[in-house]
Amino acid sequence: MNLGGEGLLKGKNMSERFTSSFILFIVIPFMVMSIAVNMLYEKVLVSHYNDIVRQIMEQLSTDLETELKRISLDAAKVSNEGELLSLIDNWGMATNNVKKFEYSKKIDSKLDYLFSYQGATKQLYKI
Tens of pLDDT along the chain (127 residues) come to: 444 555 555 666 888 888 888 898 999 999 999 999 999 999 999 999 999 999 999 999 999 999 999 889 888 888 888 888 888 888 888 888 888 899 889 888 888 888 775 544 445 544 4
* Helix 82-93 and helix 97-114, axial crossing angle in degrees, nearest 10: 160
pLDDT of residue 42: 94
How crowded is residue 112: how many other Cβ atoms within 10 Å of its Cβ? 12
pLDDT of residue 121: 47
Compute and round to an integer the Cα radius of gyration of the chain.
38
34-42: Cβ within 8 A, 24+ apart = none
Helix, strand, coil percent content, the chain, rounded in steps of 5 = 80, 0, 20
Euclidean distance between CA atoms 8 and 23, whole angstroms: 14
Length of the chain: 127
- The pTM for the full model equals 0.51
Find the angle CA(62)-CA(63)-CA(65) to the nearest 5 degrees: 65
